[in-house]
Structure formats: structure tokens, C-alpha cells
Amino acid sequence: MNAMTEMTTWRHEKVLFVNNEKAGLKAIIAVHNTNLGPAIGGCRLFPYASYDDALFDVLRLSRGMSHKNAIAGLPHGGGKGVIIADPSMKTEAMFEAFGEAVNNLGGDYITAEDVNTDCDDALVMLRKTNHICGLPQNSGDPSPFTARGVWQGIKATAKVTFGTDSLDGLTIAVQGLGKVGYDLCRHLHNSGAKLIVANRSNKEIAAKAAEEFGATVVSTDEIMSVKCDIFSPNAMGAIINPNTIPTLNCKAVAGGANNQILDEASGLALKARGIYYAPDFVINGGGVINAAAEVDGPYNKDAVLKKVDNIYNTIEQILTESKATGKPEGVIATEMAEKIIYG
């Protein structure tokens, strides 16, 4: 990957590579845009195969955060941090070093929890920087708010796709049972949905979903092609691509994973198949809405929930426009966001 080309194409402001051998930290922080205010975006920890893979992810994620924050009406730009490591390699020294790197950006980037990082890790970062949110004593873990927003977005998707936002009796295939995916299953189950689930790394959590929600468990290889009404991806990104689109057996895609569609051509191919798509950076905005409320203060949970629940209206608006015009939902959402960011 030519990093400078990607940065220029996507209009990133800065990318920081961190290699702290003493702390065992290899990381990248990308600040996409600060036009609306300091960039907010979580820090994820993942065993990327290479720096190129990590760079590709952090550039896409940080741009997505700019779009997400703009659509959500937040006074913040987008940024993201990625730590290249296996979750079993976590150390306090690693997160202290990451906190130092965040602090060196002088407030342009505000970090938080993300994939494979949690409130305990945030407290370690807090030792080295105040540019952090999602702290347990304040807004806390953002994942329940993300899950709630995804649930609202799925209801709106059902309304446009099937003519009613009732999920009772609908079959929803949930890929990924992390903090967001599992909490989402609870919302869906309580709404009367029938669940099919798959989880790659922890088979016990899938068994728990079967017991608690009556979910049918399938393999990670099967989940994208099972017959369902709505496919809900809640793991890693770029899964809607030329290889997977022909195998989808659903009427709509709506889930919490970031950057679900590989590229613009894949978005067009999905639309050509007549499958509705709830743009990921809109539907999964609940977590950052909650975290930003901590930064912008004073924190008010009721106000946060009202804003999270409005994700329903935004998704309905985008899908309705797509239905009327034939324009891919992701294109509509991106145009909405960039109009806010760039004017």
C-alpha cells in the first residue's frame, strides 16, 4: 500500500506510526479530519499480519469515524488507533505507551475502547493522557449503546424492507458475538426475532446464545450464506465483497461491524442484487455518541439514549431515498456526511 496515496485520496490530516520496543508496542494512529472538532475514535488491538494490513484498517476506520461523527451530529472529527498484537499479549506498559503517543498529538485525537480493549485498558492509558473517554467512572463501556443503535437501525431496515418495523418472527443471522453482537442478540430476542449465530474465537459464547436466546449455532463459514431475513455482521470489516455477495441469502444487511463493504464496486453489486444495506457508520454510531457526551459534558444518559434512538430515523431516511432513487445506501450516507464535514 502507498500510504501517502491513500492519505491523499481519503484526505487524512496525519498518521502516526509508533514503535516502542521497550513497552512492546507497535501501533498506528490516524487522524482523518478535525474540521468539526477534535477527532474521536477508539483504540483496537488486533493481530494484524503486517503493518500494511494495519494501515489499511486504520485509514478506513478513521475516515469512517469522521463520517459517523458527522452523521450523528457530533462536534468532532474522526480518528482511530490500532495496536498490532494478540489479545493475549496485553500489558500495562503497552497501554501506557499508547497513552503517551495519544498525548503527543496534543488533543487532536481522543481515544476510547474498541475491539479487544476495555475500560481497564482505558484507565491505564489515563495515566499518560487526558485525551481519552469511555472511562468507567464517566460514560463507561460504549458497547451497550452501540448495540442499542444497531437494534434501532435493524428495526428501521425491516420497516423499509418488509413494510413493518416489528422483528417478531423475522430470522436474523448474527455474525460475531463480542460485546456488541451478544448484547444485540438480547435486544433482537426480546423483540421476537429468531436468531442464527456464529462466532469465530469463542465457541462457548455461541453455546450461551443458544441457551439464552434459543439461537441456532452455525459455523463462521456458513453464517453469511444461511437463509435469513436480515444478515447482521458484527465482527471485522470488508466482508461484503465480490466473493461473498453472490452467497448472501437475505433481504437486507444491517450490523455493527465497521467498513463492512470492501469498496464502491461491492456496494453497487449488493444493490444490484436487491439487498438493502444499513450503512455501518450510521447504524453503529451509538458508542461514539455515548463517549462524546462524556467529552462534551456534562454527561446525561437520557440525552444520549434519545440521540442513539434517532439512528432509527436516519437509517429509515437513507434506505427510503435509496429505494426511490436506486442509489446505493452507502453512497447516500457518505454524501450526507461529507456535506457536513466539508460544506
pLDDT of 234 > 70? The answer is yes
Mean pLDDT (the chain) is 95
CB 191 within 8 A of CB 150: no
pLDDT tens digits, residue range 257-296? Answer: 988 999 889 999 999 999 999 999 999 999 999 999 999 9
In whole angstroms, give the CA distance from residue 26 to residue 84: 6
How sure is the predictor about 3, in pLDDT bands with cuts at 50, 70 and 90?
Answer: low
- Rounded to two decimals, the pTM is 0.91
What phi, psi does 218 have (nearest 5°)?
-125, 170
- Domains contained in the chain, CATH given: 3-64+76-126 (3.40.50.10860), 143-284+312-342 (3.40.50.720)
Residues annotated as part of the active site: 80
CA distances from 79 to 182, 186, 218 (A): 26, 30, 35
Q: pLDDT for 147-180, tens place per residue?
A: 999 999 999 999 999 999 999 999 999 999 998 9
Going by C-alpha positions, the residue among 17, 18, 16, 11 that lies closest to residue 32 is: 11
| Closest C-alpha to 122, from 90, 79, 84 | 90
**CA 158 to centroid of chain Cα atoms:** 20
More confident residue, 28 or 56: 28
CA–CA gap between residue 295 and residue 289 (Å, rounded): 10
List pLDDT tens digits, range 175-223: 999 989 999 999 999 999 999 999 988 889 999 999 999 999 999 999 9
Mean pLDDT of all residues in 301-308: 96
Q: Is the pLDDT of residue 1 over 60?
A: no
For residue 337, pLDDT over 90 is answered with yes
